[in-house]
Amino acid sequence: MERLGLIPMVYKNGEIIAFSAKTMFNGDNLGLQTYSVVRVFDYVSKALIDYFNRKTFENFNVRTRKEFMREIVDFLDNNTGSQKLIESFAIKRLEQDSQHKDRVYLELHMEPYFPAKNFLIRLDGKIGGSGKANTWEASYEQKARG
């Protein structure tokens, strides 16, 4: 039915529920059209943003970078493998902006376990000033497999 563009819908308990493995996204990135891929991105991105928000006021130096890297790898390792979310991952970049010390960059190359697609997640975070909340920008790119 999905190939025909039909998505089964059910009205239950006062709300409409769609039954499909496809999302409503209709852009060029086919991975973002797959519900399981979007859920993995959402979970990993939110968990990493929460982690960095908790680490906001720590000085970023070689020691804390090493600690951050270890804790991020532990988190990703716990979600990697058969019957889990991630098939493989590689942290490509974890560094502080040389001009703006309140900004940290994380680039994570990740392959969700079941869909045969590779993705790069980029997080760009900045400490909020004067009582403002921290701000985060996330972007996703589909990469060639290999």
Q: What confidence tens digit (pLDDT) does each residue in 40-64 have?
A: 888 999 999 999 999 887 888 999 9
* 110 close to 89: Cβ distance less than 8 angstroms: yes
Q: Which residues of 57-74 are buried (b: 16+ CB within 10 A; e: fewer)?
A: eeebeeeeeeebeeebee
What's residue 62's pLDDT?
Answer: 92
Whole-prediction pTM = 0.65
**Residue of 30 and 104 predicted with greater confidence:** 104
Give dist(CA 52, CA 134) in Å, integer.
10
SS3 call for 79:
coil
What's residue 137's pLDDT?
Answer: 87
What's residue 4's pLDDT?
Answer: 65
- Return the percentage of the chain with pLDDT > 70, whole number: 82
Burial classification of residue 125, based on how many CB atoms lie within 10 Å of its CB (0-12 exposed, 13-18 middle, 19 or more buried):
buried
What's residue 116's pLDDT?
Answer: 53
E strands, the chain, in order: 9-12, 15-18, 86-96, 103-112, 118-126, 135-143
